[in-house]
């Protein structure tokens, strides 16, 4: 659950879980292993369809002669590696969804795994057996390895080409069409997967500002919000010199590294090329380039900055061995002056805990920049991406596949969206004076907005493909949007939302075979580079480490990856972003 939530904050706590589900490829899923007996005739299905707004339900739009019929039982499969599932004794959404679809039974089959890597391994195992164990309808992750597996399965005839079904269900196609250029198999132009959960610029608030900083501490040392890395250094120095301790414990000016070792290194690279390592972009010659290899001077400057913080005691000596739980303990105690991370995991919970003893305590997000490469901060650009994918086993009866797409189509309707995202009117939700959907008092008291507790009732589990228009239309501002610290944060960032899409095709290229082999163990190697550089004794030592890093990357096959990525980018169609 935590892994997914790093993707983004959506319209509210409820909408947030949509993004959560998608990143994993697991909160929602499908696997049609159900009965294939055609029980619901077309008339019954169409009667169900007419309960939806005709503009939202493709079942009423599909030509009658193309109607394939339906089945009475449908089984869908989902992967899950850490968040809560619906409680069959409490689930109110699945029975109601089953009834509205006119089905006899709708089964939600969950495959629990220990990690996301386990999901990929499971897919590889299914593929190695020729797809015999592949579920009929399944939601997977959306990483490059998974896409490669799905496309290979499709090319070998084991997965359905979904293009014809999207033509029959234009509302499903409309919902996912911006992502179809990135889902299409570059080898044969077919669609062996379609996005399940995915990002949306209009409903995707910025969730990870460059840095979170104690506003009340800035007030105490008579400083405003820092805007440059140098001003940030000055603030940390003031925290160390002027705020001696908290309840007898020494303060931590900046909680850096730990399990989140990448931290702020992206600040020292140009926008669009910023990630410190492993971020690919298109260079002036139209070729793929990796920021840490082609811009060693920026990496040196970043590591030198952190080396300075380390040597002056502005970050802890044990920074590289810290576990998140240790950072959380200090944050909740009010001992940390600044940190990097997502608001829901760190800044907001820390603020809430600190306010129990210090009403003025508050973390606020800011955006920094390095004057050596930029004239000022810039709004984050938006990368359109799927967080999970649907795949359909080849050779299934058309009635069964048709029932699956009717299910997707109904969930995409406004009526279906409200049911799957919020539950039953009067029980879980009601409308406020502005006509927007809010939790009933009883439901909020029961769950306190916690996604996992809501999931026990099936809330936001069966939302499958999101209808952002319906969500924006119906949902009231969330508690997070109304928080004083978040309002202040969005002022500092300039906006709650990104303003434009990333248009560099390299940001949409999935790693190929050459890159996947080359980058095995890269994360650990990069962590070692950072640790050695930040604790280095001299500037020359940092420079040597970065030079050796670049040589190592090139020796592992960097030039071959450049060729692979440059060629792959030719098949990336960005017209959908216009």
CA separation (Å) from 158 to 35, 78, 153, 161, 312? 20, 19, 5, 10, 59
The contacts of residue 32 (CB under 8 Å, 6+ apart) are: 74, 75, 76, 135, 136, 137, 392, 393, 396, 400, 401, 403, 404
pLDDT of residue 514: 92
Q: What is the mean pLDDT of residues 73-88?
A: 90
Q: What percent of the chain has pLDDT over 90?
A: 56
Residue 429 near residue 68 (C-beta atoms within 8 A): no
Q: Give the pLDDT confidence of 162-188 residue by residue, as tens digits.
A: 999 999 999 999 999 999 988 889 889
Distance (Å, whole) CA 309 – CA 337: 13
Give pLDDT, residue 269: 87
pLDDT exceeds cutoff 80 at 59: no
Q: Are strands 245-246 and 249-250 parallel, antiparallel or unpaired?
A: antiparallel
DSSP, res 416:
H
Q: Which residue has the tokens 């009010």?
A: 334
Determine the Cα–Cα distance for residues 413 and 409; give it in Å rounded to an integer: 7
Query: What pLDDT does 207 receive?
Result: 67
Average pLDDT over residues 277-299: 91
pLDDT bin (cut points 50, 70, 90) of residue 309 is very high
Give the pLDDT confidence of 89-138 residue by residue, as tens digits.
999 999 999 999 999 999 999 999 888 889 999 999 999 998 889 999 99
**What CA–CA distance (Å, rounded) separates 273 from 267?**
10
Task: Indicate the pLDDT class of residue 490, thresholds 50, 70 and 90.
Answer: confident
Q: What confidence tier does 73 reach under pLDDT thresholds 50, 70, 90? A: very high
Query: Do the domains spanning 25-202+386-412 and 211-381+486-490+499-577 agree at the CATH topology level?
Result: yes
pLDDT of residue 214: 97
Spatial distance between the Cα atoms of 465 and 462, rounded to a whole number of angstroms: 9
Locate the domains of the chain by residue range: 25-202+386-412, 211-381+486-490+499-577
- pLDDT given for residue 17 in this prediction: 31
d(CA 518, CA 497): 35
Q: Which residue has the tokens 């089964």?
A: 107
Least confident piece of the model among 29-43, 146-160, 444-458? 29-43
Q: What is the average per-residue pLDDT within 216-227?
A: 97
* Tokens matching residue 444: 């909020």
Distances in Å between the alpha carbon of 199 and those of 131, 194, 461, 466, 573?
30, 14, 17, 9, 18
Whether 21 contacts 463, CB under 8 Å: yes
Across the range 404-427, mean pLDDT stands at 96
Average pLDDT over residues 469-487: 86
Contacts of 46 (CB under 8 A, 6+ apart): 59, 60
Structure tokens at 90: 């409490």
Q: Give me the pLDDT at residue 275, please.
A: 60
pLDDT tens across 462-477, in order? 988 999 999 999 999 8
Kindly tell me the burial class for residue 55, based on how many C-beta atoms sit within 10 Å of its own C-beta (0-12, 13-18, 19 or more): exposed
Range of lowest pLDDT (14-28, 210-224, 275-289, 499-513): 14-28
456, HSE (Cβ side, Cα atoms, 13 Å): 9
CB 237 within 8 A of CB 312: yes
* Residue 4, pLDDT score: 29
pLDDT number for residue 63: 39
CB atoms within 10 A of CB 262: 16
The C-alpha atoms of residue 470 and residue 56 are separated, in whole angstroms, by 10
Q: Give me the torsion for CA of 202, 147, 144, 127, rounded to 10°.
A: 150
Angle at 357 between CA 351 and CA 358, to 5 degrees: 60
**Per-residue pLDDT at 68 exceeds 90:** no
Least confident among 123-137, 236-250, 265-279, 425-439 = 265-279
Residue 232: pLDDT over 80: yes
Lowest mean pLDDT among 137-151, 249-263, 558-572: 249-263
290 touches 509 (CB < 8 A): no
CATH architecture designation of domain 25-202+386-412 = 3-Layer(aba) Sandwich (3.40)
| Residues forming a β-bridge with 79 | 111
Distance of CA 407 to the CA centre of its chain: 24
pLDDT given at position 123: 95
Residue 344: its pLDDT value, please? Answer: 62
Cα gap 399→25, rounded to integer Å: 25
Residue 29: its pLDDT value, please?
33
Q: What's the helix, strand, coil split of the chain in %, to 5?
A: 45, 10, 40
Q: What is the pLDDT of residue 43?
A: 32
Question: Cα–Cα distances in Å, from 527 out to 263, 268, 297, 321?
Answer: 11, 17, 18, 11
- pLDDT for 49 equals 35
- CATH class of the 211-381+486-490+499-577 domain in this structure: alpha beta
φ/ψ region of 184 (left if φ > 0, alpha if ψ in -120 to 50, else beta) reads beta
Q: Tell me how far apart the alpha carbons of residues 512 and 510 are, in angstroms, rounded to a whole number.
A: 6
DSSP state of 344: I
Confidence of residue 8 (pLDDT cuts 50, 70, 90): very low
Give residue 113's region: left, alpha or beta (phi > 0; psi -120 to 50). beta
Cβ atoms of residues 566 and 490 within 8 Å: no
pLDDT of residue 90: 95
Query: How many residues are recorded in the chain?
Result: 578
From first CA to last CA, the distance across the chain in angstroms is 32
Q: Could you read off the pLDDT of 325-347 as tens digits, one per residue? A: 899 899 999 999 999 877 666 77
Q: What is the pLDDT of residue 274?
A: 64
Which 3 state secondary structure label does DSSP give 429?
Answer: strand
pLDDT digit string, tens, across residues 378-394? 777 888 889 899 999 99
Structure tokens at 540: 């020359």
Query: Are the CB atoms for 493 and 378 separated by under 8 Å?
Result: no
pLDDT for position 575: 83
Q: Which of 17-26, 147-156, 203-212 has the highest mean pLDDT?
A: 147-156
Query: Residue 443 pLDDT more than 90?
Result: yes
Phi, psi of 356 (to 5 degrees): -65, -30
CB-based burial, 176-185: b 16+ in 10 Å, e otherwise: bebbbbbbbb
CA distances from 182 to 141, 509, 575 (A): 14, 8, 11
């Amino acid at each position: 659950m935590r892994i997914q939530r790093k993707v983004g904050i959506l319209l509210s706590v409820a909408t947030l879980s949509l993004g959560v589900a998608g990143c994993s490829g697991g909160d929602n899923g499908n696997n049609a292993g159900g009965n294939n007996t055609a029980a619901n005739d077309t008339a019954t299905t169409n009667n169900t369809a007419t309960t939806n707004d005709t503009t939202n339900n493709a079942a009423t739009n599909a030509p009658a002669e193309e109607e394939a019929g339906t089945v009475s039982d449908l089984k869908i499969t989902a992967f899950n590696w850490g968040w809560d599932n619906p409680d069959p004794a409490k689930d109110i959404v699945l029975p109601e969804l089953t009834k509205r679809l006119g089905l006899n039974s709708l089964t939600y089959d969950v495959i629990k795994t220990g990690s996301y890597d386990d999901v990929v391994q499971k897919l590889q195992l299914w593929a190695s057996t020729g797809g015999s164990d592949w579920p009929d309808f399944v939601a997977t992750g959306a990483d490059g390895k998974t896409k490669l597996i799905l496309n290979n399965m499709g090319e070998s005839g084991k997965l359905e080409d979904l293009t014809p079904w999207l033509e029959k269900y234009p509302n499903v196609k409309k919902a996912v069409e911006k992502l179809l250029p990135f889902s299409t198999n570059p080898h044969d132009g077919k669609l062996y997967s379609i996005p399940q959960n995915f990002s949306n610029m209009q409903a995707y608030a910025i969730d990870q500002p460059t840095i979170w900083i104690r506003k009340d501490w800035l007030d105490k040392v008579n400083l405003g919000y820092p805007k440059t890395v140098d001003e940030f250094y000055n603030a940390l120095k003031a925290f160390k010199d002027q705020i001696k301790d908290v309840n007898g414990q020494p303060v931590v000016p900046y909680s850096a590294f730990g399990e989140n070792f990448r931290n702020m290194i992206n600040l020292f690279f140009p926008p669009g090329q910023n990630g410190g390592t492993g971020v690919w972009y298109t260079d002036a010659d139209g070729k793929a380039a990796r920021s840490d290899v082609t811009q060693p001077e920026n990496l040196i400057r970043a590591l030198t900055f952190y080396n300075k913080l380390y040597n002056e005691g502005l970050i802890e000596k044990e920074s590289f061995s810290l576990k998140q739980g240790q950072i959380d303990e200090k944050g909740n105690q009010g001992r940390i002056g600044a940190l990097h991370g997502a608001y829901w995991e760190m800044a907001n919970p820390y603020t809430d805990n600190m306010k129990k003893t210090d009403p003025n305590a508050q973390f606020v997000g800011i955006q920094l920049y390095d004057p050596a490469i930029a004239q000022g901060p810039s709004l984050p650009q938006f990368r359109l991406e799927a967080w999970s994918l649907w795949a359909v086993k080849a050779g299934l009866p058309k009635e069964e596949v048709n029932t699956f797409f009717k299910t997707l189509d109904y969930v995409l309707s406004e009526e279906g969206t409200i049911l799957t995202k919020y539950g039953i009117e009067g029980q879980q939700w009601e409308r406020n004076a502005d006509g927007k959907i809010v939790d009933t008092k009883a439901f909020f008291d029961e769950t306190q907005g916690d996604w996992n507790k809501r999931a026990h009732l099936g809330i936001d589990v069966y939302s499958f493909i999101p209808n952002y228009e319906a969500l924006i239309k119906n949902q009231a501002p969330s508690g997070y949007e109304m928080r004083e610290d978040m309002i202040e944060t969005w002022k500092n960032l300039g906006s709650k939302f990104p303003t434009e899409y990333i248009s560099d095709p390299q940001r949409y290229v999935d790693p190929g075979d050459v890159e996947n082999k080359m980058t095995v163990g890269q994360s650990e190697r990069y962590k070692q580079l950072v640790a050695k550089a930040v604790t280095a004794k001299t500037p020359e030592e940092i420079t040597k480490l970065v030079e050796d890093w670049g040589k190592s990357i090139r020796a592992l096959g960097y030039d071959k990856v450049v060729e692979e990525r440059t060629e792959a980018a030719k098949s990336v169609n960005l017209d959908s972003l216009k």
